[in-house]
Amino acid sequence: MTYLFLAIGIAAKNALVPFDTNYLRILYSDLYILLLLFLFERVFDNRKKQNKKEVVYTKLDLIHPSRRTELIAELNSKYGFGEVSKIKVGKINEAKQTVNLLVTFKDQEDNHIGE
């Protein structure tokens, strides 16, 4: 939606320019706006840097909130997750001794496929 608004805004700005204006100046202003958009996209968009993975985990004793650091260390050593920012506990199956975890992490080396 932002890109559509930006395209309409640039077109409206260019339509209001008088005929005797230097067209190179108009081109520079359009490129400047696009460059600002690109920089804002790279600097402020953290969603691209975070991945989410759903993991079926078998150690039920580590899902307690007081043992969260041990769980994070186990996930890092087992699956190679980077900096884990959030863990959500899903369905717990006592019969199979499994739990579904949704792990949100920052992948610095881009080793994981995002969902």
HEC profile for 27-65? HHHHHHHHHHHHHHHHHHCCHHHEEEEEEEECCHHHHCH
State the greatest distance between any 2 C-alpha atoms of the chain, in Å, as a whole number. 79
User: 20: left (phi > 0), else alpha (psi -120 to 50), else beta?
Assistant: alpha
Cα distances (angstroms) measured from residue 90 to each of 19, 99, 101: 63, 7, 6
- Statement to judge: residues 61 and 102 lie in one domain: yes
DSSP 96: T
Task: Examine the domain organization and report whether 35 and 61 are in the same domain.
Answer: no
109 has a pLDDT exceeding 80 = no
Polymer length of the chain? 115
61 and 100 share one domain: yes
pLDDT at 78 over 80: yes
SS3 call for 104: strand
pTM for the structure as a whole: 0.56
Q: For residue 113, tell me if it sits in a domain.
A: no
Same domain? For 57 and 17 the reply is: no
Last residue of a domain, one of 27, 44, 61: 44
Q: Which residue range(s) make up the domain with 18?
A: 2-44
Residues 25 and 67 reside in one and the same domain: no
How many other C-beta atoms lie within 10 A of the C-beta of residue 60?
Answer: 13
- 6 plus 36 within the same structural domain: yes
**What pLDDT score does 28 carry?**
94
The model's pLDDT over 12-37, given as tens digits with 9 standing for 90+, comes to 999 998 888 888 999 999 999 999 99
